[in-house]
């Protein structure tokens, strides 16, 4: 069966552009880490409906049957969970996309592996799923010897397998829609030759034109995505890409989260992609602003103002911060959000806090005195807010915040103590010891020790902090 289907898919090597369908806008649950709960997904679907988003992608990397043991069918209890998700999406007119990542150990020429994929998709069809994604991201870009004899390239193997799977699935249900994540899924990977020479061109030529292709931009986490870069990409893919946007994903750095606005993408970008899908923070309660501002971006008429969208979203998020005693102000929440803004950008108030703290490391001048006063004001406000957040009624929100905000509070407390010390010492760089921040317990552990071995330079490069030691 696989041989025949592969033969049939050769007819799709064409310049044909796919039919233009509804613009996709929504949320990817596609991170590494603990998947969201069923209750969180239902809350997400309600928000998406309210905000005008239309698509939910199910592909949590740590669902074992998504990736590690993809050949195994779902159990009865697992299919019940998936059925509930699909039904909830259908009831709200949300598109449900099911993602499967077989790339770690797939044998592209093996009938048995094709049969495993077929069985899994058949199982999902029975649950009402009509949108399928085949993902080949984050895998070794090589084939086993049998596949290398059968296919002329890594890209060809993936294309032929996916085309055959599309054809087999459409034979059971004509209205299915397919999506594909390439092995080089950003510009830097493609430029480095990941996947082999001409990977993207082969994809554009050989992948069925109805199959949409995910792309993350120039980087895995792209600070900006330009129209010109997407136009160039279209020349290779022969279709509009679908953005898998990792702007707010935090699974690569558990010390941070990102609740800044959807930004770094011009509003004109919407005309050059088939949709915008946001892969978000692991912690569901921290995604309110990212999802809210994505929806605003999709609906925006006229110029896009990320900061204004952020401030609007903060106002809507504020009721989630109901306290046991007192209330949270928008100014407090804006300041905290600015400290956890975007991967490569702090919010304006956090940037001011940092710049004032940096001035405090220098000589005592008039600027130093002004910076000290402003830093003390912001730090006192932020520290007090971090402590008050322990009284949040929304406990999952507090647990998502707690470790991050306590680390922030500790650093602010340390700097305040240093500031008090500097007030009584005129030397340019006096040595300071804090009796509340002991070596080893504060900034201790193997990870901080490893991080201190290489210091980042202003140009972004790294250099050893100490001369090399003899072995």
Active site residues: 138
Q: Which two tokens stand for residue 337?
A: 């959000």
- For 5, 31, 232, 247, the CA distances from 28, given in Å and listed in that order, are 30, 8, 25, 12
3-state secondary structure of 146: helix
Contact by Cβ (8 Å): 103, 117: no
The C-alpha atoms of residue 401 and residue 407 are separated, in whole angstroms, by 10
Q: Which two tokens stand for residue 374?
A: 């402003």
Closest CA to 412 of 434, 390, 445: 434
The C-alpha atoms of residue 191 and residue 89 are separated, in whole angstroms, by 38
- For 228, 367, 369, 433, the CA distances from 425, given in Å and listed in that order, are 55, 17, 14, 13
Contact by Cβ (8 Å): 271, 304: no
What value, to the nearest 5°, has the Cα angle with vertex 348 and ends 346 and 354? 65
The C-alpha atoms of residue 182 and residue 136 are separated, in whole angstroms, by 5
Residue with tokens 């929504």: 26
Residue with tokens 């009402």: 128
The C-alpha atoms of residue 171 and residue 468 are separated, in whole angstroms, by 64
What pairing do the DSSP bridges indicate for beta strands 131-135 and 177-181? parallel
Q: Which two tokens stand for residue 228?
A: 């010109």
């Amino acid at each position: 069966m696989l041989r025949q289907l592969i033969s049939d898919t050769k007819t799709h090597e064409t310049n044909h552009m796919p039919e233009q369908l509804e613009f996709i806008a929504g949320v990817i649950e596609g991170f590494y880490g603990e998947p969201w709960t069923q209750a969180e997904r239902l809350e997400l679907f309600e928000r998406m409906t309210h905000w005008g988003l239309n698509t939910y992608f199910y592909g949590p990397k740590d669902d074992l049957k998504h990736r590690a043991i993809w050949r195994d069918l779902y159990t009865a209890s697992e299919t019940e969970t998936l059925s509930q998700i699909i039904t909830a999406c259908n009831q709200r007119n949300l598109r449900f996309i099911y993602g499967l990542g077989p790339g770690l150990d797939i044998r592209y020429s093996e009938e048995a592996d094709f049969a495993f994929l077929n069985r899994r998709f058949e199982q999902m069809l029975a649950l009402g799923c009509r949108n399928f994604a085949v993902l080949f991201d984050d895998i070794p870009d090589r084939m086993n010897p049998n596949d290398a004899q059968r296919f002329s390239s890594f890209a060809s193997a993936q294309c032929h397998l996916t085309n055959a799977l599309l054809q087999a699935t459409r034979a059971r249900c004509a209205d299915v829609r397919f999506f594909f994540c390439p092995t080089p899924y950003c510009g830097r990977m493609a430029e480095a030759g990941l996947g082999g020479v001409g990977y993207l061109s082969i994809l554009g030529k050989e992948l069925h034109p109805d199959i949409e292709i995910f792309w993350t931009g120039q980087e895995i986490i792209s600070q900006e995505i330009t129209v010109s870069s997407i136009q160039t990409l279209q020349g290779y893919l022969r279709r509009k890409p679908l953005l898998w946007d990792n702007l707010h994903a935090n699974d690569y750095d558990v010390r941070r989260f990102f609740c800044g606005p959807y930004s770094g993408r011009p509003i004109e970008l919407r005309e050059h992609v088939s949709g915008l899908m946001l892969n978000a923070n692991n912690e569901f309660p921290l995604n309110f602003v990212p999802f809210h501002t994505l929806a605003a971006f999709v609906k925006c008429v006229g110029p896009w103002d990320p900061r204004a969208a952020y401030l609007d979203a903060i106002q809507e998020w504020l009721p989630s911060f109901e306290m046991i005693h007192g209330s949270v102000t928008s100014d407090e929440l804006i300041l905290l959000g600015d400290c956890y803004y975007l991967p490569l950008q702090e919010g304006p108030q956090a940037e001011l806090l940092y710049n004032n703290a940096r001035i405090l490391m220098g000589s005592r001048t008039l600027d130093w005195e002004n910076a000290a006063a402003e830093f003390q004001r912001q730090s006192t406000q932020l520290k007090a807010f971090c402590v008050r957040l322990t009284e949040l009624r929304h406990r999952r929100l507090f647990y998502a915040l707690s470790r991050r905000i306590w680390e922030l509070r500790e650093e602010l407390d340390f700097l305040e103590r240093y500031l008090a010390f500097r007030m009584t010492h005129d030397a340019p760089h006096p040595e300071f010891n804090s009796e509340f921040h002991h070596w080893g317990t504060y900034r201790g552990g193997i990870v901080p020790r490893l991080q201190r071995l290489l210091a980042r330079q202003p140009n972004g490069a790294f250099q050893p902090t100490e001369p090399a030691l003899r072995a």
